[in-house]
Each structure stands twice: as C-alpha cells, then as structure tokens.
Amino acid sequence: MRGQVVVRLKREVLDPQGVTIGKALDNLGYEGVGSLRQGKVFDVELETNDPAAARSALESMARDLLANPVIEDYEIQLLDEGSAGEGLVTEEEGRA
Amino acid sequence: MRGQVVVRLKREVLDPQGVTIGKALDNLGYEGVGSLRQGKVFDVELETNDPAAARSALESMARDLLANPVIEDYEIQLLDEGSAGEGLVTEEEGRA
Amino acid sequence: MRVGVVYYPGSNCEQDAVYACRLVGLDAELVWHKQESLDGCDALILAGGFSYGDHLRCGAIAQFSPVMKQVERFASDGGPVLGICNGFQILVEMGLLPGALLANDGLKFRCQDTRMQVEKTDSPFTNAYAEGQILRLNMAHYEGNYFADEATLADIEQHQQVVMRFCGPNGERGAEHNPNGSINDIAALRNRAGNVMGLMPHPERVLTPELGSADGRLMFESLRVALTGMASAENTEPLEVIADV
Amino acid sequence: MSEIAERPRPQGDLASEAIALEHGMTSDEYAKVCEILDRQPTVTEIGMYSVMWSEHCSYKSSRVHLKTLPVEGDAVLQGPGENAGAVDLGDGIAGVFKVESHNHPSYIEPYQGAATGVGGILRDIITMGARPLALLDSLRFGQLDSGKNRHLLDGVVGGIAGYGNCMGIPTVGGEICFDPSYDKNPLVNAMCFGIAPADRIVKAVADGVGNPVIYVGAKTGRDGIYGVSLLASATFDAEAAEKRPAVQVGDPFTEKVLMEACLEIINKDLLVGMQDFGGAGLTCATSEMASNSGNGMEIDVALVPRRETGLSPYEVMLSESQERMMLVTTPEMIGDVMDIFGKWDLDAVVIGKVTDDGLLRVLEDGVMVAEVPAHSLAEDGPCYSRPYTIADPPEALCGADLPCDVDPAEVLKTLLQDPNIASKRWVFQQYDQTVRYNTVQRAGGEAAVIWLKEAGSDAAVAISLDGNPWYAGLDARRGAQLAVAEACRNVACTGAKPLGITNCLNFGSPEIEERMGQFAAAVQGMGEACRALDVPVTGGNVSFYNETVETPILPTPVVGAVGKLDRYDASVRSGFVAAGDTVWLVGAVDVSDAGLGGSAYVREFHDRRAGAPPALDLELEARLQRFLVAAAAEGLLASAKDCSDGGFAVALAEACFATPEAARTDAAQATAPRSALSGLLGAEVEIRASGDGVHAALFGETASRVVVSSRAGDDVALAALAARHDVPIAAIGKVTEAAQLRIDVAGETPVQEDIQELYATWSGALAQAMENN
Ligand SMILES: Nc1ncnc2c1ncn2[C@@H]1O[C@H](COP(=O)(O)OP(=O)(O)O)[C@@H](O)[C@H]1O
Ligand SMILES: [Mg+2]
C-alpha cells in the first residue's frame, strides 16, 4: 500500500520559510495571498496490504521519526495503488 | 479559499533525504518499508472564493516559483474552508 | 574595466568577492539586487551566501530580483558572469546554466578545503591556470551536489562545459575525493558559449598562503586578463577594504 | 511615589500576592513592588517585574560574587554592564565579545534551542554597534553511547551551523566534553566576537525626551512567555496557554538583514541608542533603555507587529520572539532610518517615545495598562547573599597511588579515541569557518585567529573558549583558575597577548548550599587567576538551575579569552612544521611531579573521580604566557601546543597530526580512508621520569606546560629568551621526517607508534561514535 505523512509546523510556531516565500510571491505580483506555510510530505510505500496495519505503521513512523512533536503536527493519509492524492482511503490527524 | 501545492522530486532524481530517512526507519526496526520519498507541501490561503481563479493562481505560483521544473513535479489541490486534507474539491497534476 | 558584484538580502560573500577583484587590480563594486541597471559593468559576479535565507530552494527567490533581467541580458550578450556558491545556485535556477544543485550526499553542511582539476583554460575565469592544474579551494555549502539528467549530462560533456572536476592530490577521481556527490565529479560548469560559469567552492577565500592557499587568486587574474589583456597588474596600492564597521 | 498614586491607575486585573508567587516571585518581592508603586500592581505589571527580577535578568543570587571580579585594565573599553564587553585593539578598533548560555531550550529542541542561542549572542554584539566576525561554542553532553545524546549533539551542532552559516559569520572554535552528569542537562554556550570603531560603541540608551522609539524585525508571537501557571489561571483563558509554543524557532535570514540594516544606520550616524529584545523582551528593552538615560518611555502595544491575533498586553510585553530590535533615534533622522529598513524589506514601526518622568508607561490603543518606574524594573531588583558551603579541596592523586599495567602505547590509543580528546572535525566541518575571508587559523588549533582586515588593519585576534568540567567538579576554585589559565594560554600559544576574558558560569541550583558554594569558589578562583594573569573580565553570563532531580551537572565555568597579534600573518600554529626542528617543553617541565586528579587517564583507566585537579602556579603561568608572546614576536617559535586533556603524550601526538600540509590536505571525509592524507611528520623525544611514574609523566595534565618547536638555528636564542623570562625550558627531542612517534622514558621506549595509524584513530573517532551506532 502507499501512504502519505504530511508534517506541518504547529500553527503558533513561526514559519520563517513560509513568511519569506509569501513575501516573494507578493513581490512577484501575486495579490490576494493571505498566508503561506510550508510543510513536508513523505510518500511511503509499504509492503503490507492491510489498511489497518499500514495506518498504524505510518502513525508510529510519524510519531517516532518524521515529525518533531515539539513544534510539528502530522497527518496521515492512506492511498490505494493509484497515484498520490487519488484514491483517498482514510485519514487521521494527530498532535505529534 | 485554501489550496495546497505539493512539490515532489521527479522519480529519476535521487532523493538523499528520503534515502537517509528510509535507512533510519530500517534502523528503528520498521520492516516492510518499500521506499520513502520526501516532498514539500505549501498551504496557501487565497482571498478569492472562485475555485477557477484560485486554481489558476496556484498553478502559476507553482510553475513560477514553488517548483523547479528541472528536478521537481507539482500537484495542486483546492480545499474548502475546512481543515487541510478535508473537503477535497479538485486536483490537478503537472510536470512543472 | 569594472566588475559588478551582485548581492541580495542574505548574501554574505559579496565583500570577499570585491576584495579578491581589487587584490588583482580590478575595479569592483557592489550591485544591490534592487538596482534596475548594471551601470556599465564589464563583468559580473553573483556572490555567495544565503539569498532569502535559502528558503524554498537555494537561489530560487533571488532569480526574480529587479536587477536579474539585466543580468540575463548581459549574459546573453556574451558578458562574463561568474556565480560562486549561492551565485551558482542562482544561475541554475535561472536556467543560465543547466542542471540543478541538490543537498550534499552526506546531508550535512560541509566546510573544508577541496581539490579540483582544471580541464578548460579557454575561459575568462580560467585562462591563467594551466590545463590539468590541481587547485585547492575552500568550500562551504549544504546544497552543492550537482545533478543533471542523462541527456543533459551527455550534452554538457559533449560541449565541453565542465571546467573543473573534484579530484585527489594527484588528479585521481573517485567518491572519496568528491565532497558533495556531484555527478561526474563536476566542480565548475560553464554555459555553451563559455561566458557564464558557476562553481560551489570559493575562489575568493583562497587568495594567499597565509590563509590556507592562493589557488583562487588566479581565477580573478584570469578575469583581469580577459577584461584588460593584462597578464600582470599586481595591485600595489594599499587595498581599500569596504569599511562598514 | 506619591506622584504615581495621584495619577490614573492602569487598567486591568490586579495581581494578588498569590499571582506573584505563581510568577516565581517571593512574598517580599511582591511587597517591594507594592511599595514602589504605592498601590497594588496589575497582572501585567507583576508579569513585568517577575521577568526583570528573575535570576536570569537580575543576577540576584550571583551579583554579590561577580562584583569581586577584576573588571578594569588598560585595554578595557567596556566592562560588564552593557550587552557585551569591549577591549582596545589599537588603531581605533574595539574588540567586542561575550559568551552566553542556551542550555534548557537546547534540551527541549536541540536544533532550534542552539540556533536561537547563537541568534541571541549575535544580537548582543550587534547591539554594541559591532560587526560580528567570529562565533565559538562550548558544548557539554552526556556520553555518546546513548541515542538521545547523539540526537542532542546532532541537533545542537546543526542548529549552530544553520544559524551562523546563514548569517555569514564564521564559527571558528569551541570545545565539547562528554560526561554523564550532562545527560539530562546538556550545556550550549555560544560566544561571539565583533569589532566596532573604538569611539563609536553603541549603548542601550534612550536619550532625548520626545525621541521616537522604533520596533524593528520579526513580528511578535507568544514565544517563551513566562508565568506558565498563571496563564492557566482564571485571569487568562486556557486556550492562550495552549497556544504558547514550547520553543522558539530561529530565523537567521531575518537576523542577517536586521544586522545589515542596523549597522548601516549606525554607520550613517542616525542612532541615539539601541537594545535587542533578549530575555524579558519588550519589558527589558524599554525599561533598561529608559533607565540607563534616567528617562521614561511610553509605548503602545497595539502598534507592535504581531504574528497572531489576540495577544494581550501582558503577552506582548513578555514575549521572547526572536530577531527583534529596539532603536531610539530623533525626529530629524527617523525618515532616513525608515528608508534603510525599507531598503532591507524590514518591518519597522514607531511604537512610542522617550518621556521625562522616569516612568515606563504601557498603553493599549491609548488606554494605559501598566505604569511603573523604569529604574525599578531595571535596577532595583533584589540582591541575595545566599548561604553557601565550600567543600575542602581534595588531596592530590599521584601516580604511585594508581598502579597501572596497561601498556602506555595502548593508553595513548585509547585516549586518542575518547570523544573528549578525539578530533572535533565531525562538528566543526559543519560550520562555515572561512566566510568573510578573515580566518587565519580555523578550528583545530590552540585558538582561532581572525584577521582584522575589515578595519584596514594588519593585526589579528586570537580567541579561545575553555573550561575543563572535571577539574571544576573536584575543586571549583582551582577549576576556574585553570579555565582562565588554559584559555589565555591557548591564546598565547598563537603569539597573541591576552587582553580580556568573558565567562559563562553554568551551575546547579543557587538555593542548595553546596552548589552555591561551588559558584562562590569558582568566582573567587576566576578573580585570582585574572588578577595574576592581568586579564580583566569584560562580561559574562550566569546559568543556574542546571540540575535534574537526580543529579546536578558538574560545575562548569567556561572562559572565553581574546588576545591580540600585531600581524595576522605571523601567528604560531600548533603543529610541527619541519623535520629537524627541536622539540621543547616549556613552563612546568618537570614531568615527574604530575598530579593525576581530574585527568582523562584516571577517568578512563581507573574510573576515579577523585583527587585534586592539576596544581597551578599562577606566577609561573603568567611568566610562561609572556614568554610565548615574546618568543612569537621574535619569530622563534615554529609551533606551540598546550598540554591539556590527555596530557603530554596526547599533545605531542596532536602536534604531529597538525602539520601544515596535513591540515590543508585533510580534505577527504573524516570517515574515509586516509589515502588522501600526506605530509604527516613524526617526533622522537626523551623525557625523564622515575619507573612507576611513566603513566603520570605521559598522561598527567600538569598545567602551564607547552610543547614548542623551533628551527635548529633558533635554539640558543629561544633558550636565552626563556631564561630571561624565568621560565623553565627543556629540549626533549626532534621533529622527524618519518611519521613515527617515539617517546623514551628513562632508557625505555614505552611509546613507538605509527602516526598515520594514531591519526586515523583520533580523527575518525567522533564521526564513528555518531554514525556507527
Ligand atoms: N564545539 C566546537 N566547535 C568548534 N570547534 C571546536 C569545538 N570543539 C572543539 N573544537 C576545536 O577543536 C580543537 C581542539 O579542541 P580541544 O580538544 O578542546 O583543544 P584544547 O584542549 O587545545 O583546547 C580546538 O581548535 C577547538 O576550537
Ligand atoms: Mg579544551
């Protein structure tokens, strides 16, 4: 199965990258951009075909390694064999 | 409206970060991880409420700035006012 | 003859580049990224550092600075443009040089001396070197791992665009002599016309043996030769350092 | 006082004594606030007092002791009290420097904690109007067999690198020690050195009634607000507490443009005064600037740029968001100031003005929410003489007490791969050490040497940061003396004359008598050493409460020394230069009386934490340092290497590793095969020691001992110069072409080793400890 872990800075944490990119978009003439924040996405291929097992593996990877619980939250999506983003199966959110 | 641009290294480009994280997962005892690749996600808040306008704004931001076409592909998702990931409205893929 | 050293918010090697130019008798001055014109510069150096904090991708945001339209025109008119470190990253982001720069294969910032061999001396930046000469320059970067896809790479090699490659003390090649994982050990790369060159190591940090090595100095001397035809024009005047303290 | 009472009272909830206690204040402190105000304070006001009167800002437990340190000297331009100290480097140049700790944040989030620590010390230097030229770091961790400690080291080094590299300021030196006492309480101390014109050091003043007060830099968020328990109390909604980020995220890019803009403003003479927002944020900057000028200040927090909505005045006044500065300028100059900030795309706003009534008045949208005498916040904090007990210094531990049958060559190899002694290349390779093209000697030598090129000078400074925690753990007073001696000796080894020191005193809880005793003794020892060596203290930092329930850290006084070299191209390096050169021991040359207390050898092979640390004869130390400086000035030293961790044998081996060619060709990965390495030299020496004293002679860490080498033709002159300085010197052997280390002791040859192999062991050990676990 394929899965995805999206890791984002917590809302209240400063995101210097997002701020700089937002300003750059302003300078490029993009108006109407309210805010921009940058996160990370991990595309993981898992050998298991059991959604529950896959989800719990992703969950613990996110907690143990992919997200820094002090400043980041994560979100998990399980995808079918199709391309990333398509075939949304389920999703879970957590304060890492 | 809220939108999301996901930027990923092209398949043929080596992703050293992904490889390293994959190894770290191995070391932590995660078995059955076929592959792991790391990408970026940009959460953008747009002032417009018109999906078509929003999509085209995201599209051109991705093309102009957020992705480097030499090494990266991007993917766009438009979200409603709900939380990230929820309320998938539409989606588009592109070789930047 | 004047060299313009282009810098951006977050650049941090612009004064070093000006110093290096002046050391070899070239007139040099800073060009702020918001300038609309190049004020008649005869050569350009894009300085190293962390333009815009290296946010998004190194060099990605700097390419949109107001002055860059002029830089692009200058380059396409055949003017000499040298991108050092972040300057190299900006040049590839702009597409003035092919390929891209990824994170070092060790996934760490690395500051160290590194060896490279000069392959092409028919260039405004290397004419004072001997072909095959092995240099010791200093590098300091996180994203200097040069990458190009197969077709691009073949094209680069075919058109002799590789100016220098990483190597060992006797010119030997191999992973242990390649400090960042660059494909084909590419250390310095030029465009097809030869007037635009980028490299990750810093020639402006190796100008005198007292500070490690003088091997970078010849790169600036080469530029002087290219601009003035003067093979030796040692600056005998005391150097005016940009005093901003 | 009565004047205040007649004025309208600030709006907002009143703070009871209970609320003050929740802010960590004492009942007496609360009473003192009520007395100063002649009324009950508001919650906002008590928040402001609590941070300004905290240990961190007011030095209430340490001040009585710190007062005893020598702070004056010919070279001192600025002693303790401002954001950083300054010494005169000649030619109108001031050297501005300071060290500061960021220990607790680095344990919670190592990357960001260390990064923001670097950001903080940089702002201290910039605030003095100086351009930072170099960073150094002193780090302490638990041992690397623990994954947690490897994670901490990796993160901390990454954070220091991430911040300093992006700022374009080379990180050129430092030190690291590993000891179990730091397991739950690592130490991250960062030092910065910068230069300013001697006649234009900027102060944190708010002169000129009516002058505008400018806020510039990052927007304010809820970062690092104290009074945690209070936020959860009825006065504040629980949600606000939830929203407080546990750590601050550093933004070196913003700091870089902030630095350039501020320096441009100073260069154009557009400034009255400047202060960074350090601990206690806006409260600290406003009250200190006003108080320093005997003035008052009025600001409106509604004008402060924010990162999120709904911040209360309390939160704005106490926020510790990074990368912000406060400037006072004049109405005439403000246009030019704002233009410069505009050039650098920085957010800058006028948030208030200087007043004449001595009061710090805080408004929110025109409504007064706090009004307190600025002076009372900044200067009237409590000062305690806490009770303490100083332990008796332990007896010396001699070689004869410690029989050891391990082959000395094996001891040497083991010590060389102890992460405490092994090359720190894995660390400093991640630091940009060469940016700005001033770095004459990078990390890896005795002291970093930085050319003052930007001031148009041929002079250079040498900087070293040192503090052996095991010595201080055994005897805090002598440990502090030894730290001063080593830092200055390292500087002198390059040929530079030490001019002043800064210090960071990392200790446990001042409320425990033994810990307070360690602190008192350390300050006493530091003062004694500074007086003897004639190096004043120009500033520093105290970090208390470095302990967990189970253990306190070893008392850790860290000393940063700065010295001056007249010529940047004449500095002496630590490695041997040429075969045939004579090898000497200078200073404490008698290897037979080496005490072993606190040594790496005893830790490693006897598992003992006992005995007195190395003896230190401060008079001899002073003469030795003067001799080194004189010998370098006369060009008589080919190399100089201090004997410290690991003792004489380790120092000798390191002098062989650091030959100029090796230093330069060492380009390949630390972990890669050493095939690329060339140019290593060897040494053949003979020392005298009685039979069972061999280990003590080779591995004892006797202070004031330096291995130097000289060209054969200089031998006579060098010996004569040593005699003139009344410094013992002994020729012990030669530098050899063959890369072999041979040490003869009393007719035997306990050490005869291949330098290539020793080098491989030493240079790869730390990377191995980090990567192969
Ligand atoms: N944390 C660090 N950051 C930068 N440089 C370091 C660090 N730790 C050690 N170094 C460098 O490694 C060299 C050896 O350090 P150390 O073993 O403490 O030497 P010494 O005993 O001579 O003080 C010094 O040049 C020092 O600057
Ligand atoms: Mg040391």
How do residues C157-186 score in pLDDT, each as one tens digit? 999 999 999 999 889 999 989 999 999 999
Q: Which chains touch B (3 or more CB pairs under 8 A)?
A: A, C
- D545: left (phi > 0), else alpha (psi -120 to 50), else beta? left
Q: Write out residues in chain D with pLDDT < 50, as ranges.
A: 1-2, 4, 227-238, 665-676
Given this model, what pLDDT does residue C213 score?
87
Q: What is the pLDDT of residue D674?
A: 36
Residue A95: its pLDDT value, please?
Answer: 45
In the residue annotation, D151 being an active-site residue is answered as no
* pLDDT of B25: 86
Residues B8-28 have a mean pLDDT of 87
Q: Which of D137, D425, D428 to mutate to test the pocket of ligand 1 (most atoms within 8 A of CB)?
A: D428
Which member of C33, C141, C177, C202 is catalytic?
C202
Supply the pLDDT for residue D716.
Answer: 97
Q: Half-sphere exposure (CA, 13 Å, Cβ side) for D640?
A: 29
pLDDT for B81: 52
d(CA C110, CA D429): 5
In percent, the amount of chain B with pLDDT more than 90 equals 55
Domain boundaries, chain C: 2-233
Phi, psi of D135 (to 5 degrees): -120, 150
Whole-number pLDDT of residue D602: 92
Name the architecture of domain C2-233: 3-Layer(aba) Sandwich (3.40)
Helices and strands (H, E) in chain B, number of each type: 2, 4
Q: Judge: D249–A12 Cβ closer than 8 Å, yes or no.
A: no
Query: Do D253 and A13 make contact, defined as CB atoms within 8 angstroms?
Result: no
Which chains lie within 8 Å of chain A at 3 or more CB pairs, if any? Answer: B, C, D
Q: Which pLDDT belongs to residue D235?
A: 39
Q: Do A28 and C64 touch (CB under 8 A)?
A: yes
Confidence at residue C32, expressed as pLDDT on a 0 to 100 scale: 97
Work out whether the CA dihedral D121, D546, D558, D666 comes out positive or negative. Answer: negative
pLDDT band at C233 (very low <50, low <70, confident <90, very high): low
Best CA proximity match to A72, nearest among B36, B41, D183, D165: B41
HEC string of chain A equals CEEEEEEEECCCCCCHHHHHHHHHHHHCCCCCEEEEEEEEEEEEEECCCCHHHHHHHHHHHHHHHHCCCCCEEEEEEEECCCCCCCCEEEEEEECC
D375 is catalytic: no
* pLDDT of residue C244 exceeding 50: no
Residues D373-410 have pLDDT tens digits of 999 999 999 999 999 999 999 988 877 778 888 999 99
- Interface membership of D347 toward C (CB under 8 Å): no
The minimal CB distance from B34 to the residues A45, A64, A88 is found for A45
For residue B63, the 8-state DSSP code is I
Q: Give the CA distances from residue D208 to residues A77, D339, D687, in Å, rounded to whole numbers and listed in that order.
A: 60, 22, 68
The answer, for C134 touching chain B at a CB cutoff of 8 Å, is no
Q: Which ligand lies nearest to the CA atom of residue D643 in the structure?
A: 1
D425 pocket-lining for ligand 1 (C-beta < 6 Å) = no
Run of H or E residues at D752? strand D748-754
Which pLDDT score is estimated for C205?
97
Which residues 6+ apart lie within 8 Å of D423 measured at CB? Answer: D444, D657, D670, D762, D763, D764, D765, D766
Could you tell me the pTM of the whole model?
Answer: 0.93
What torsion do the CA atoms of D548, D553, D555, D560 make, to the nearest 10 degrees?
-110
pLDDT in tens, D107-132: 989 999 999 999 999 999 999 999 99
- Asked if residue D323 has its Cβ within 6 Å of ligand 1, the reply is no
Q: Are C116 and C101 in contact (CB under 8 A)?
A: no
Mutate to test the interface with B, among C61, C64, C91, C107 (most CBs of B within 10 A): C107
C159 touches chain B (CB under 8 A): no
Question: C36-89 pLDDT, tens per residue?
Answer: 999 899 999 999 999 999 999 999 999 999 999 999 999 999 999 999 999 999
Work out the minimum CA distance from C31 to partner chain A, whole angstroms. 19
pLDDT at D689: 76
Instruction: Let me know the angle formed at the C-alpha of A36 by A34 and A40, rounded to the nearest 5 degrees.
Output: 160
Q: What is the pLDDT of chain B when averaged over all its residues?
A: 83
Q: How far apart are CA D717 and CA C57, in angstroms?
A: 58
Q: Give the pLDDT confidence of D577-599 residue by residue, as tens digits.
A: 999 999 999 999 987 766 788 99
Q: Is the CB of D312 under 6 A from ligand 1?
A: no
Q: Angle formed by the axes of helices D147-167 and D755-771, to 10°?
A: 100
Which of A16, A27, A28 lies at the smallest CB-CB distance from C53?
A16
The continuous run of DSSP H or E covering D763 comes out as: helix D755-771
Verify whether residue C202 is a known catalytic residue.
yes
Round to whole Å and give the CA distance between D30 and D636. 63
- Per-residue pLDDT at D671: 34
CB of D37 closer than 6 angstroms to any ligand 1 atom: no
Q: What tens digit of pLDDT does each residue of C73-132 get? A: 999 999 999 999 999 999 999 999 999 999 999 899 999 999 999 999 999 999 999 999
Q: Which of D424, D450, D654 to mutate to test the pocket of ligand 1 (most atoms within 8 A of CB)?
A: D424
Distance CA B37, CA B21 (A): 9
How many angstroms is it from D464 CA to the middle of ligand 1?
A: 9
Alpha helix ranges (H) inside D309-388:
313-318, 334-343, 374-378
pLDDT at D246: 67
Contact D436, C244 (CB under 8 A): no
**DSSP state, residue D490:** H
* Domains of chain A, start order: 2-91 (3.30.1280.10)
Picking from A22-26, B20-24, D423-427, which range would have the lowest pLDDT averaged per residue? B20-24
Chain B residues whose C-beta sits inside 8 Å of any chain A C-beta: 6, 8, 18, 21, 24-25, 28, 30-48, 57, 61, 64-66, 75, 77, 83-86, 88, 91, 93
Alpha helices in C82-195 (DSSP H): 86-94, 150-158
Confidence at residue D232, expressed as pLDDT on a 0 to 100 scale: 34
Angle between helices D513-533 and D618-633 (to 10 degrees): 40
The closest residue, in CA terms, to atom 27 on ligand 1 is: D173
CA distance D682 to D742: 8
Question: Ligand 2: distance of its center to the CA of D487 in Å?
Answer: 8
